[in-house]
Amino acid sequence: MAPTHAGGSAPARRRVLVLGGSSEIAGAIVAALARREPVAASLVGRDPGRLASARATLAGAGVEDVQDVELDARDIARHEQALDQAVAQLGGFDLAIVALGVLGEPGALPADLDGAVESMQLNYVAAGSLLLRVAQRMRAAGAGTIVVLSSVAAERPRRANAVYGSAKAGLDALARGLGDELQDSGVKVLVVRPGFVHTRMTSGMAPAPLATTPLAVAEEVLGALDGRAQTIWAPSPLRWVMLVMRALPRAVFRRMRR
Ligand SMILES: NC(=O)c1ccc[n+]([C@@H]2O[C@H](COP(=O)([O-])OP(=O)(O)OC[C@H]3O[C@@H](n4cnc5c(N)ncnc54)[C@H](OP(=O)(O)O)[C@@H]3O)[C@@H](O)[C@H]2O)c1
């Protein structure tokens, strides 16, 4: 699984860009990668304190060089500049992880509508903007892998998660189309659909069936980096659960409250 870049030679370290730099799932992926090979990482995120903490965790996990770039991803006008800063730190990207996201208030008609719109903008528009901009750079370089953290919620949003799920559905669809567009370019797009993962995002919530951990998601992702799969589920049996969920008649599906 040697990283490559535009020149075709293998750099000494895999250069990893994390969009949502303090994400626990992304952190677990980078740490797991660092156990297998040399890694340099640039963490792009909005909170200096959480970025510093993520940097310290990854340095402790053996990532050789961890830097960060401050970006509130809602500020789309700054996306190119932030990516330029990350390129200046790493020299380019072999792997990008699109991990930014917020769960937001549950339900299809939340009380805080401004908050709902903000979460839709972050989960789809901001994440999609960064995804497209990274893809453009990787296509120009002729190589790279983009891991997009989607969700099982994207497959068939429920009334309980319609705002979040619909934005993730947009991102998931964009990532799949992009993967098809880039199929002969040397760039791979891997769509990851986790179920319930025990992280800061879900803390205090009752775990859903097949709940998993960031480490387990990381292992699924690492297993798929060089494979042929372009969409994976974490844990993998969720693929079959979601097959059934997608087939449920709407009259049954609409009664699901969680
Ligand atoms: N946990 C789950 O059960 C689960 C399941 C399916 C999919 N996912 C997806 O997996 C991804 C990672 O989630 P996680 O579980 O690792 O949760 P997390 O630790 O809360 O990670 C979310 C990341 O998004 C960042 N973010 C939020 N708003 C931002 C903004 N305006 N600008 C820049 N960054 C922003 C957060 O930064 P801050 O530290 O500044 O908040 C954090 O780094 C998310 O896209 C999530 O939707 C999670």
Express each pLDDT in 19-62 by its tens digit. Answer: 999 999 999 999 999 999 999 999 999 999 999 999 999 999 99
User: Environment class of residue 127 by beta-carbon count within 10 Å: exposed (0-12), middle (13-18) or buried (19+)?
Assistant: buried
Whose alpha carbon is nearest atom 44 of ligand 1? 101
Taking a C-beta distance cutoff of 8 angstroms, is the pair 168, 194 a contact?
no
pLDDT digits (tens, 9 = 90+) for 154-209: 999 899 999 999 999 999 999 999 999 999 999 999 999 999 999 999 999 999 99
- pLDDT for 12 equals 81
- Residue 5 predicted with pLDDT over 60: no
Query: Is residue 164 annotated as a catalytic residue, yes or no?
Result: yes
User: How far does the centroid of ligand 1 lie from the alpha carbon of residue 248, in Å?
Assistant: 29
Where does ligand 1 bind, in terms of residues with CB under 6 Å?
Answer: 20-25, 45-47, 50, 72-74, 99-102, 122, 149, 151, 194, 196-197, 199-202
Percent of the chain past pLDDT 90, that is, above it, reads 90
Q: Which two tokens stand for residue 254?
A: 């609409």
In this structure, the chain runs to a length of 258
**Quick check: bond before 235 cis, omega within 30?**
yes
Rounded Cα gap, residues 173 and 30, in angstroms = 25
Question: Which one is catalytic: 26, 29, 127, 164?
Answer: 164
Q: Which two tokens stand for residue 224?
A: 């798929």
Find, among 13, 26, 17, the residue nearest to 149 by Cα: 26
Q: Which two tokens stand for residue 69?
A: 């770039």
pTM of this structure: 0.96
Half-sphere exposure of 145 (CA within 13 A, CB side): 23
Whose alpha carbon is nearest atom 24 of ligand 1? 100
Buried b / exposed e over 38-50, threshold 16 CB at 10 Å, is ebbbbbbbbeeeb
